Each structure stands twice: as C-alpha cells, then as structure tokens.
Amino acid sequence: MIFNSLDFAVFILVVFTLYWFVFNRNFRVQNVFIVVASYFFYGWWDWHFLIMITFTTLCSYYSGLLADKVRQSHGHSDEQIWYKNKVWWIIAANITVNLVILFYYKYYNFFVQNFVDAFSLFGKQLNISTLKIILPVGISFYTFQALSYSIDIYMKDTKPTRNIVAFFAYMSFFPKLTAGPVERANDLIPQFLKARKFDYPSAVDGLRQILWGLFKKIVVADNLAVCITYINSHTDTLPGSTLLLGSFFSVLQVYFDFSGYSDIAIGVARLLGINLSRNFNFPIFATSFANYWQRNHISMTRWFMDYIYYPMLGSSHKMLYWNYCVICTFLVSGLWHGANWTFILWGLIHGILISISTDTLKIQKKFEKRFHLKGVVWYKLIRISIIMFVLSIIGPLFSSESIHSAFDYIGKIFSSTLFIKPYGSTYAGKHVVFLVIICLLFEWFQQEKQHALQLDGVRSKVLRWAIYIFVIALIFNYGGVQVPFVYFQF
C-alpha cells in the first residue's frame, strides 16, 4: 500500500475514525490498534515481510530487557573490559542478528558477485550462486531503528521499555515504516506511553503537510520521472545540455519524491497525535555541501553521525583525521543506499565534498566579510546554483545501474553539444517546468517554516482555502501514473 493510492486514502480514513472514535478511551488500546493497522499496512505488500519485522522487533525488545536485567544484577556498575561485559555481548548479539538479516537480503548478492569477479581476475572460476529473493520494503529503515535502540541501551542513553506493545508500535508505526524518518527510541516510545489528545491546530497542519507531500510526489516528482525516463532511454541521440538537464531533473525528482513521502508520513502521524522528526529542511536551497547534508534526509544523516562519525572521531581535533571520519561515514551511507559500487562512489564523493566545504569555511567567511556578501540574495543564489550543478554532475552515480553507465552518461554531458539549447518539446511538456517552478517558489518563500504549505501567516480563510483548492486542482489535473517512491528500494 503506497501513500499515493486510493487504497491508502481509504485505509487512513478507517484508521483515523477507529483510532479517535472507537479506541480513544485508553491509549494502550490505541497502541494495540496502531500495531494491528501497521502490520495490515505492511502485510498489504507481502505478508511474508511480517515475519522478518516481528523477528527483528522481538530480538531487539528482549535483548534490551535482558541487558537491563544483567545490568541491574551487577548493581549498575558495568565491567570495563568489553569481553567480560555481559551487556556488551547481549547487545552485540542483537546487532549481529539484525545486520546478518540486512546483509542477507540486501548485500549478499553484491558481495558474492564481487567475490566471484575478484577470483576470476586470477583465473579462478568460483561457482557460488546468487539468491533470488525480494528485498523486504523498508528493511534498512526498521533495522537501523532496532540498532539505534540497542546501542542507546548499551550507552545508557535510553532505558529499555517494558511495554511490548509500545515497542512494537515504535518499530512498525506505519507512516514511517517503509522509508522513515528513522526515529529514536527516546523520541518516539514516550509518545506511545502516554494518552494522546486530539490537537486541532496540529491535525489541520498535518493535513496541509499531507497535501503538500502529495503535490510534491504526485505532481512534481512523478511528472519529472516521465521526462527522466525519456532522457535516459535516448542518451545516444540527445545533446549534452539535455542530458545535464535530465540529471538536474533527477536530483529534483529524488528530492521531491522522498521529501513528499516524508511530508505525508509526518502529516499522517500528526493526525494520530504522534510527532515524527523532521526529515528535510529544503536542502535544494543549501549553500554548501555540509549545509546540504544538515538539511537533507536529516534523520538518517543524524543516525550516521551519532553511531559512526562521532564514535570514530572520539576526542580527536586533527583536521586530517576529521576528514577521514567524514569520508568513512559517507562511504557507509553510500553502501546503505544500495548494494552497488555506484552508491559507494557516490558516498565517497559526498564525503570528499563535505570535507572540502568544511575545510574551506574560514576562507569563505573571510571572502564574504571582505566583499560584504553575507545575506546578499544573488550571492546565495549563485552558491545554491553551484551546489545544484555539482549534484547534477554526480547525480548519474545515484541513478545508474553501473559505474560504467554512470560515467558514460557523465561523459556524454561534457561533449561538444553541452552548450547547445536543450531539446524541450520532445520529452517534456511546458507544464512540467511550470509545476517545478510553482513548487520551488512555494518552498523558497516558506523556507523558515516546517513545510511549504504551513500557512500560519495567512489570516484570510478565503485565501487559505483558495490555495488549498489550487493545490488540489493541480494534483487532480497533473497527477498521473503511480510511480513507486524512490527510497522504497533502499
């Protein structure tokens, strides 16, 4: 069941009604209902997926309890040497189980294939067969939630919950189950452990956020996807300028698609009285790469920073080591995105770009001060354009099937046809450009808000409703083919 389907519209209507009108007397009953609804939502894809998420949830829940019990019995003083520390072993076992499952589904074929290829270089042919299995939707997201829960318990950042239903709700809460935001136990579990009251302003804003998410996904991202498909299938005949435009469209498509999903997820959760973390802060208006990753896929970036980058960095202040940690973190982030060398290289490049961007921060600030550029709009627009240009150049790494085809695409961009006028009419109606511009303008003027349709400042009800009707009319008219969410594959 995907958010941009009629099935989901009916589902959320039923869930909302039952949640607030039938099960509203007791929050525990509401939690049970959330778990049932979430399992129904997830099982709609394939009921086999439920086995895996149940197993992961149970392992994480009981390992947390066991670790706590051991810790209690030792009178709160943990053994300092890790191999003598029972808590360490329990948590490590749970992390290993989760990673093995993730590895099996997501990375097994990739590693086996590379292993076989590596041996064939030395003339040795190995007969290891790859697996024909379907990657469960959202496995990376809920596995990472399980990992953070276990690590937080070990680090004493969180207390294991004894309420199994609340924990199941934390792991499977349907709005964020398939593509995040990746929530932390400390943020989400406490919300399931107290009564929830219907909050009118929050619910109304949740609906606005859903509407804006649907607009971004159905209208902008899906229409861009049609153009991109056309461009990608005609790379041999289209000029470099069109291919560059296609790559820029891909960057926009991924953003509008994923942030659209996150907006719908957050909005739906708010309708149920639950607050999810913010996942995007208008990254397309980022002025540096470090800034881009502070604004883009925030929950996952925060996860990588907290569980990989900071532990690696320790108390070191050496710039070279700092750069090394950033690059390693983004290599893992690349690998998380997919079992392909393209993603690893994509992560590596992003790591390098962030390092350069941060290393040169002092020079940038001096430059801005010298020429009084701080806060100047045109200067900001130039910086945004540079970031977008670089993202468009490395974009094919994110969307290509192999490194060879990615470089082939990039090579074709930088051909002699780079500076001729891109072909417009053959692959995109004017309406696509018009829709993108509308979306970007909304986002630009609402940058300070949580989402672009947060209309707190608009006092006139008629104007607010006119804007909603305008957005609904655009969805109705320009919504088309259901394209799956890009991040479901991760």
Partner 1 sequence: MKRFLIQILYFTLTVACLAFLFSGLNLHLIRKKILNPENFRLSDSTTMLIIGDSYVGLSLNPKYIKGANNETVLGEHYLYSYTRLKYFLENNPQLEYIVLSFNYSTIAAPFDRGLLDGRNQSFFFGKEFMLLGKEELKFLRTNNLVYIRNFLAWKLGVPSKENLSLIKQTMAKNFKRNALPFRGEYIDCGNLSYVDNYQLNVRLKECFEPDKEQGLSPLILEYLQKIAALCEQSNVKLVLYTSPLSNLFFNAIPVFYKEEFQKTCQELPKSVFLLDYARYQLPDSCFEDVNHLNGIGAKIISSRLLDDLKKLEQDSVYHMRF
Binding stretches for partner 1 (CB under 8 A): 5-7, 20, 198, 200, 203-204, 218, 226, 465, 468-469, 472, 475-482
CA–CA separation, 189 vs 161, rounded Å?
A: 8
8 Å CB contact between 375 and 230: no
Copy the structure tokens of residue 317: 């202040």
3-state secondary structure 18-67: HHHHHCCCCHHHHHHHHHHHHHHHHHCCCCHHHHHHHHHHHHHHHHHHHH
Q: Which of 179, 198, 264, 267 is nearest to 17 (CA)?
A: 198
Least distance (Å) from partner 1 to the CB of residue 473? Answer: 9
Question: Which one of 337, 372, 431, 451 is the catalytic residue?
Answer: 337
Distance of CA 307 to the CA centre of its chain: 17
Q: What is the DSSP letter of 317?
A: -
In the complex with partner 1, the residue whose CB is nearer, 71 or 270, is: 270
At its nearest, how many Å lie between partner 1 and the CB of residue 210? 12
Cα separation, 314 vs 316, in Å, equals 6
Residue closer to partner 1 (CB basis): 387 or 435: 435
For partner 1, the closer of residues 86 and 464 by Cβ is 464
Between 103 and 468, name the residue whose CB sits nearer to partner 1. 468
Residue type, 253: Q
Q: How far is the CB of 260 from partner 1 (least distance, A)?
A: 15
How far is C-alpha 168 from the geometric centre of its chain's CA atoms?
21
Exposed e or buried b per residue across 357-371, where buried means at least 16 C-beta atoms within 10 angstroms of its C-beta: bbeeeeeeeeeeeee
Please state the separation of Cα 176 from the chain's center in Å: 10
List of residues 6+ apart from 265 with CB closer than 8 A:
3, 175, 176, 179, 180, 181, 213, 276, 279
Q: State in angstroms the smallest separation of the CB of 484 from partner 1.
A: 11
User: What do you get for the CA distance between the two ends of the chain, in Å?
Assistant: 17
Rounded CA separation 387/286 (Å): 7
Q: Residue 127 or residue 460: which is nearer to partner 1 going by CB?
A: 460
Cβ at position 385, least distance to partner 1 in Å: 31
Q: How far is the CB of 475 from partner 1 (least distance, A)?
A: 8
**Strand, helix or coil for residue 433:** helix
Q: Note if 451 is an active site residue.
A: no
Tokens of 73: 């019995």
Residue type, 79: E
Q: How far is the CB of 482 from partner 1 (least distance, A)?
A: 6
Q: Which residues are catalytic?
A: 337
